[in-house]
A and B are shown apart, each in its own frame.
Chain A
Amino acid sequence: MAQKKFVVGCFEDEKVLFPAVAKVRKEGYKFHDIYTPFPVHGLDHAMGLRETSIHTAGFLYGMIGTTTAVTFMTWVFTKDWPVNVGGKPNFALPAWIPITFELTVLFAAVGMVLTFCYICQLAPFVKKHVFHPRATDDFFVMVIECGEKTNEQELTDLLKSVGAQEVNTQVAEEGWWIGRYDQEQSLYNEPNIA
């Protein structure tokens, strides 16, 4: 798989990180990613990432669950094996509410988690390149992909000037699991910061 070069800058404080992100974007560099030990609110917008739509997927899975439950129970009790219980209706919708509800929740939750793992490429035995081991501890690690025209030295100096504690260059393999980086991460808006 293709090898790529990255310039990695580590920040210790989110107060320094936000202006740095704005500066780096303004200079026209392309983020590979920023790795943080906890969710930093507003960072996704600062980087120009679009909103996730995983909740829409959850809604669709839930609808599939509802439909499955209702159609299956209807088929069983009215077509496949109707039983006369004291003349009560076979199509007993109120009595099916609990199971319909449970299956809705089950489908939505399981579907969403699987989708989450798939689009984030998370699974047991998946190994990803760790740019800095402290990215899961107390460092905010900004990773910038080097293109053909990128001047590494200039970029390193820029990162140092905006407050990075550590700056280094790393070579890592592109594509870890299904042969691509997260595609959504390459989707950047035009920098619209004044």
Chain B
Amino acid sequence: MSVTKYESQIREPLVNGTKTYSQVTKDIVHTIEVKPTRLWYIGFYISAALLMFGAYSVYREVTYGIGQWNVNRTIGWGWDITNFVWWVGIGHAGTLISAILLLFRQGWRTGVNRAAEAMTIFAVMCAGQFPIFHMGRVWMAFFTLPYPNTRGPLWPNFNSPLLWDVFAISTYFTVSLLFWYSGLLPDLATVRDRAKTKLRKHLYGVASFGWSGSTKHWQRHESLSLVLAGLSTPLVLSVHTIVSFDFATSVVPGWHTTIFPPYFVAGAIFSGFAMVQTLMLILRKVMNLQDYITLGHIEAMNKVIVLTGSIVGCAYLTELFMAWYSQNPYEQDIFFKYRIAGAYGWSYWLMMTCNVISPQLFWFTKLRRNVLFTFIMSIVVNIGMWFERFVIIVSSLYRDYLPSSWSIYYRPSIWEVGFYLGTFGLFFTCFFLFSKYFPVIAIAEIKYVLKGTGESFKNDMDVLEQKEVDEFVDEIYHGHAEGEVKVAHH
């Protein structure tokens, strides 16, 4: 077979070096099989302490009421809903990586999808706390569910965006969890079959559902992943769209705009990828996974950040333009008197700097491939995105139609901040446990792409190209009696 040897100048290898299958297993499963490092313990205890403080803050709020936070009749949403939107936004990157990039056949997703999906699940768990405890009488949270009750039965209002949120967030959490865990099954089985101790074998045996690696099961598994990806793609777009409806369907100046859904979705992907960067850069360093999460992966994610950052910047400018163009005095006042200027003007400019100006530096290849710079930027972006939600909520609420309900200065109480810190505790406690007890990289998926990338691909390129031709011919001749050509999965 004579295929012209051509080495791609654009596509970087997904996995560095020449590795065998068992080496991949060893590299990734290693951390599960040894005692965690001192650094892990320190991080875990700090997170657990934050979680405790958060739990106490929540206890204060549940016992004494929302007055424990400094929210008032004018600024009713304050930090709480800011944090909610922020966490939900972060929770968008995982499913984007695992679903949308799967459909777009982006090979580099395999290195980061597992940890990003875990991040999504933990972020959504954190996000869910805020609206639930904002209800005040949290023990009645189940009133939002449409169950046959003794009050009529009295049903929730299905026309309300706040109820749409209940459905959107809970569906998103469930589907992400199923997607993540069904992908985990084969890798947990790998850990099970390598286990040296009885307890580990038993626990991973239970967790892996008795996965065997049967060809038929793999065939179904691939079909399942593909359909779940297809379902998650519109789902992930719908979730932040619905979150933005909480604002957009109101009549509050600065919120009542049709640009909100696309603008929120872009912002969510923007902040989500920043959080993925923060976690991945630590993970690859601490767990020695530089060969699997390569500079190519980091650069690819930085490209997504600069794209979505620019979309967000465009949305900010559009909002300002529309406020002027609408000639609506309330809109104009909110944007030009109280947002870019006024008591909270500083937060607007902080948001603009962090979200619009600084990500533009990622147009430079050198900076995109600089680990330290990326790490700093990932945190800057998330600070900016937090302030975006703060600006939207507080600067629109503190000036209303009625001057009598104006509230000059809102600052959070320690328990409001504590609740936020507590969700950091929850998020990182979960993430530390995940990184210790679960394979942080999708082992089977890495093995699947291993021979088609990097050094091992170069070594037997002829054979692999021939195999691709064979597979294509096979697809045409088998199982498709109607004569349709089906594109292979992945």
Contacts and interface: CB of A to CB of B under 8 A. Distances in A.
Interface of A: 14-15, 33-47, 49-52, 54-55, 58, 62, 72-73, 76-77, 80-81, 92, 95-96, 98-99, 101-103, 105-106, 108-110, 112-113, 116-117, 119-128, 130, 133-138, 141, 176, 182, 184-185
A1 to B, nearest CB: 16
B235 interface: yes
A106 B174 contact: yes
A141 B215 CA distance: 10
A60 to B, nearest CB: 12
Contacts of B478: 45
Contact of A54 (B167, B227, B475): B227
B318 interface: no
Q: Is the interface of A mostly helix, strand, loop or mixed?
A: helix
Interface in B201-233: 205-207, 209-224, 226-228, 231-232
Contact of B212 (A49, A72, A123, A128): A128
Contacts of A113: 178, 182, 224, 228
A137 B321 CA distance: 58
Q: Is the interface of B mostly helix, strand, loop or mixed?
A: helix
Interface residues of B, number: 75
- Looking at A101, A106, A120, A133, which has the most chain B CB atoms within 10 Å of its CB? A120
Contacts of B221: 39, 116, 120
- Looking at B171, B211, B214, B478, which has the most chain A CB atoms within 10 Å of its CB? B214
Contact of A109 (B174, B218, B474): B174
Interface in B1-57: 20-22, 25
B216 A185 contact: yes
Nearest to A116: B224
Contact of B216 (A49, A98, A108): A49
18 contacts: A15-B463, A33-B215, A37-B25, A38-B186, A41-B471, A44-B219, A49-B219, A52-B216, A58-B231, A81-B155, A99-B158, A101-B238, A102-B171, A102-B238, A116-B220, A136-B213, A137-B22, A141-B213
B215 A36 contact: yes
A52 B182 CA distance: 17
Contacts of A73: 158
B212 A137 contact: no
Contacts of A96: 158-159
Contact of B209 (A36, A62, A112, A117): A117
- Looking at A39, A51, A96, which has the most chain B CB atoms within 10 Å of its CB? A39
A183 to B, nearest CB: 10
A62 B217 CA distance: 22
Contacts of A58: 227, 231
B242 interface: yes
B28 to A, nearest CB: 11
Nearest to A49: B216
A34 B231 CA distance: 30
B215 A34 contact: yes
Contact of A40 (B192, B211, B218): B218
Interface string B158-183: 11010110011001001100110010
Nearest to B185: A122
Contacts of A112: 224, 227-228
B234 interface: yes
Contact of B214 (A125, A134, A182): A182
A33 B214 contact: yes
B168 A98 contact: yes
A101 B210 contact: no
A35 B447 contact: no
B103 to A, nearest CB: 14
B194 interface: yes
Interface in B455-472: 463, 467, 470-471
B158 A95 contact: yes
A67 to B, nearest CB: 15
A52 B214 contact: no
A102 to B, nearest CB: 4
A82 to B, nearest CB: 11
Given A39-B448, A185-B216, A124 B207 contact: yes
B67 interface: no
Nearest to B194: A137
Contacts of A117: 209
Contacts of B155: 76, 80-81
- Looking at B190, B222, B232, B451, which has the most chain A CB atoms within 10 Å of its CB? B190
Nearest to B158: A73
B485 interface: no
Contact of A116 (B20, B22, B152, B182): B182
A194 B190 CA distance: 37
Contacts of B235: 102, 105
Nearest to B214: A33
- Looking at A58, A80, A110, A122, which has the most chain B CB atoms within 10 Å of its CB? A122
B190 A105 contact: no
B476 to A, nearest CB: 11
B171 A119 contact: no
A122 B475 CA distance: 28
Contacts of B163: 99
B412 interface: no
A123 B163 CA distance: 33
Nearest to A130: B193
Contacts of B443: 38
